[in-house]
Structure 1
């Protein structure tokens, strides 16, 4: 009866989205008594004689002599709200935070933020400006009924939402000397398979902009952008919805996405779109406007969740994961082309290339 009740409860989740990822192991925090001096930070990775700091490859390339100048963002391109120290901006269906701190100063705060939120980190790459959590379950999606309230603490392992989430945080240094923080969500769910429903497997589910907004609001509060989380959530929710900024044009080898934004803004939004769509970004060359990515067509990926999690059968999947180049090229100050090229540096005209273009367009529009 208990197991049957646990299965049934998963279907009764209603109401506004809440988050509770307490199942992950949290790192302990070392508090320094007020009468002692705070220990100095580990500066092994600090760059000498650089007051601006560089936490991303694109930021480094942008600071080099001869690099393309960053496009200015006009008031009708991006809506923003919040104070001058931390504010939320929005373009299309993407939101991000703009913080008047360097990436070096923000990095330890972001690590602390995800640990306090119940996550451990799978990727912690300050050089690339990318931080990614391990998969974790949102326990708030399991309703609190009488049985769970009385026996849940003892038999908590019997309850599952059937879903797992992970979050990627990307930092980009903006021309004004501050930092833009992007949070992207990826999800997976357990589905029943087989003619007799005798087995289950884990499959990808769509990214959830609401979950991204929740953690942006939480982070905004932690960084001092608002006095409380409710105010931060209102600021994120009230970021004005913009008109579509992208469209797919052309045919065959000349097919591409055209945006009505400059190179700098499009470059950063393409990076977030790749994170959301689940691409593996191996490298990026901002000077030439190229992201080097690996992509596996999920339609042919029949491995279970734990096989993917622990990379079982990775040799076979590595053969299937093809390398592509996402080209970002400016047409003018307010127009940019985004196209898909294969590893031989030729336009990708296959159905997979069309799928990649469609995935990017869904995020950029």
Structure 2
């Protein structure tokens, strides 16, 4: 079944956030019509720090959780993970049909086969909440995948694409409107592209004979950045403890339709993620942020908090580093 994003002012039609972004560039009239001003409320506030955005909601996570579930329902995105005890939601991978260039032949195929015609792209969102002095911080991260043909001609495989901060901001803005007004937003919400410049320096260095990431900044801000970096990678957050500065994560790089799958009807394709099963799939780690002199240091440890082989630590840290910049 096709899963895409809902446009309330176009009954019966669906479109992805990526297509909404393209529609924004069709002309001045479209910009004015599709970019409503975000509502303001002391109960739900949008916070920004460089390219990172998050919401601060004046409610406890337990009270907010049912509203978050309802929000994903309004977006026609089913949840594959719904864990209030650890404060994490994850949507199923949704097809982005906006990328299909419907020429004559493709249009005929699409009308004949309906949902069997595939756009070859997938989007997934992770929502994470963090308790903060009687309020709740809400973060949304995007993951993308694009389908490519194997060079050996044996089938198709999914390749992870870079996270899209524009899509994260769009979905976060939709959530802000929903929590403030109780309604799904009509049209595209305001996203300022200038917010997404990468900032900050993050160095992978050797300290005391092991690899660590070193960065400087305000601890609370860097904690948020680290959480978002993990959400964007294949390191799935299982638990987190802000007081101890630790995240317990599982390496899970898989994407939608991983493994072999067949489509009914005329189209039959083999889906694979990468070449063969990733030997690290399912490995668990502890990622810890601690103060080290004037710096903050991020280290990768075993799930029990013990030191691990340096090549394993570098593997984890090299996944995180690009998303922290």
With structure 2 as the length reference, what TM-score do the two structures score? 0.70
**CA distance 1:151–1:193, change in 2 (3 Å):** closer
- Give deviations 1:102-130, integer Å, cap 9, x for gaps: 32332222211111211111111112111
Do the aligned partners of 1:93 and 1:241 also contact (CA within 8 Å) in 2?
A: yes
- Give deviations 1:15-70, integer Å, cap 9, x for gaps: x93269xxxxxxxxxxxxxxxxxxxxxxxxxxxxxxxxxxxxxxxxxxxxxxxxxx
**CA distance 1:202–1:238, change in 2 (3 Å):** closer
**CA distance 1:271–1:141, change in 2 (3 Å):** same
Q: Which residue of 1 aligns with 2:123?
A: 165
**CA distance 1:253–1:19, change in 2 (3 Å):** farther
Q: Which residue of 2 aligns with 1:122?
A: 80
What value does the CA root-mean-square deviation take over the aligned residues?
3.7
Count of matched residue positions in the alignment of Structure 1 and Structure 2: 277
Shift of 1:229: 5.9
Do the aligned partners of 1:87 and 1:225 also contact (CA within 8 Å) in 2?
A: no
Q: Which residue of 2 aligns with 1:192?
A: 149
Are positions 1:270 and 2:219 aligned together?
A: no
* Superposition pairs of residues 1-365 of structure 1, within 5 angstroms: 17-18=18-19, 84-145=42-103, 152-175=110-133, 177-195=134-152, 197-224=153-180, 232-234=189-191, 237=193, 239=195, 243-244=199-200, 246-251=202-207, 253-295=209-251, 305-307=257-259, 321-331=282-292, 335-343=295-303, 345-365=305-325
The residue matched to 2:94 in structure 1 has which SS?
Answer: coil
- What is the distance in 2 between the residues matched to 1:280 and 1:244? 24
**CA distance 1:102–1:231, change in 2 (3 Å):** farther
- What is the distance in 2 between the residues matched to 1:84 and 1:188? 37
- What is the distance in 1 between the residues matched to 2:304 and 2:295? 26
Do the aligned partners of 1:190 and 1:203 also contact (CA within 8 Å) in 2?
A: yes
Shift of 1:357: 1.2
- What is the distance in 2 between the residues matched to 1:247 and 1:289? 19
Do the aligned partners of 1:92 and 1:244 also contact (CA within 8 Å) in 2?
A: no
Do the aligned partners of 1:262 and 1:335 also contact (CA within 8 Å) in 2?
A: no
The residue matched to 1:118 in structure 2 has which SS?
Answer: coil
- What is the distance in 2 between the residues matched to 1:308 and 1:266? 40
**CA distance 1:180–1:308, change in 2 (3 Å):** farther
**CA distance 1:148–1:100, change in 2 (3 Å):** farther
With structure 1 as the length reference, what TM-score do the two structures score? 0.64
Shift of 1:169: 0.5
**CA distance 1:346–1:214, change in 2 (3 Å):** same
Do the aligned partners of 2:100 and 2:119 also contact (CA within 8 Å) in 1?
A: yes
Shift of 1:344: 6.3
- Give deviations 1:271-312, integer Å, cap 9, x for gaps: 22111112123333444322222226x6xx8x9933299xx9
Gaps of 5+ in 2: 1-16, 22-38, 262-271
- What is the distance in 2 between the residues matched to 1:304 and 1:113? 22
Do the aligned partners of 1:220 and 1:226 also contact (CA within 8 Å) in 2?
A: no
